[in-house]
């Protein structure tokens, strides 16, 4: 997925200016001319300059380079679905795993990914369950990471 450099340049310029605006309110170290605003301020100036260079370069090259160039995967619905499921799985895990519990969330996520990567339903569920139990054992029992039980709390071991 390639975007024209000018797009990145523009975004970076906005980012740099935003940072400069935010750090204006930062106090100085008492008795010194330097403060917590100095370093991010300098970095933001660098981002603005870099962004400007990219913006100018991209704009000058707009005849020869397209604004957006997508790779072949966008034409394959299977690959697009796979990407959606991938990002969706992580978001699902962040939002839902605490109350649904690790075991159920993980099995659902793995099954969804296996299916979208063209495994049969039976194999997907089987490997999902095995992998979840192994990872749960490794992290919960061996490394003592507090993976959430969620709705399975009454059956916790």
Partner 1 sequence: MMDAVLLAFAMVFDPYTLMVMVIAACYGLFVGAVPGLTATMATALLVPVTFFMAPIPAVAAIVTATAMAIFSGDIPGCLLRIPGTPASAAYTDEAYAMTRKGEAEKALGASLVFSAIGGLFGTLVLIAAAPSLAEFASRFSSFEYFWLVLLGLTCAVFITSSKPVKGLITLFLGLLVACVGLGNPAGFPRFTFGNTETMAGIGMIPMMIGMFAFSEIIRYVLDTKPSGEIAVEKVGNVLRGQWTLAKKYPVQILRGSSLGTLVGALPGAGADIAAWMSYAMSKKFSKEPEKFGTGHVEGIVESGAANNSALAGAWIPALVFGIPGDSITAIIIGVLYMKNMNPGPSLFTNNPQNIYAVFLIFILANLIMIPLGILCIKAARRILKVPRNILMPVILLFCMVGTFAINNTLFGVGVMLAAGVVAYVLEANDFPIAPAILGVVLGGMLEENFITSMIKADGNFLAFFSRPIAASLAVITILIWVTPGLLALWRRSAVRAA
Residues binding partner 1 (CB under 8 A)? 1-3, 5, 8, 12, 15, 19, 22-23, 26-27, 29, 32-36, 38-40, 43-44, 46-47, 50-51, 53-54, 71-73, 76, 79, 82-83, 86-87, 89-91, 93-94, 97-98, 102, 106, 109-110, 113-114, 117-119, 127, 131-132, 135, 139, 143-147
Least distance to partner 1 from the beta carbon of 80, Å?
A: 9
Q: 8 or 104, CB closer to partner 1?
A: 8
- Annotate 79-148 with DSSP letters as a single string: HHHHHHHHHHHHHHHHHHHHHH-HHHHHHHHHHHHHHHTT--HHHHHHHHHHHHHHHHIIIIIIS-----
* 14 Cβ neighbours under 8 A, 6+ residues apart: 51
Least distance to partner 1 from the beta carbon of 8, Å?
A: 7
CA distance 81 to 83: 5
The residues that bridge with 68 in the sheet, in sequence order, are 3
Least distance to partner 1 from the beta carbon of 131, Å?
A: 5
Q: 63 or 72, CB closer to partner 1?
A: 72
């Amino acid at each position: 997925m390639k975007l024209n450099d000018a797009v990145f340049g523009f975004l970076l310029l906005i980012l740099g200016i935003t940072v400069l605006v935010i750090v204006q309110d930062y106090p100085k170290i008492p008795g010194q001319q330097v403060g917590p605003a100095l370093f991010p301020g300098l970095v933001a100036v660098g981002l603005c300059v870099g962004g400007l260079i990219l913006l100018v370069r991209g704009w000058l090259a707009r005849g020869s380079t397209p604004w957006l160039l997508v790779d072949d995967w966008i034409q394959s619905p299977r690959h697009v679905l796979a990407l959606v499921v991938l990002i969706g799985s992580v978001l699902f895990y962040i939002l839902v795993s605490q109350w649904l519990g690790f075991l159920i969330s993980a099995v659902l996520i793995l099954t969804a990914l296996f299916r979208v990567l063209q495994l049969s339903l039976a194999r997907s569920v089987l490997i999902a369950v095995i992998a979840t139990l192994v990872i749960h054992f490794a992290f919960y029992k061996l490394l003592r990471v507090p993976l959430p039980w969620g709705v399975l709390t009454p059956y916790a071991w």
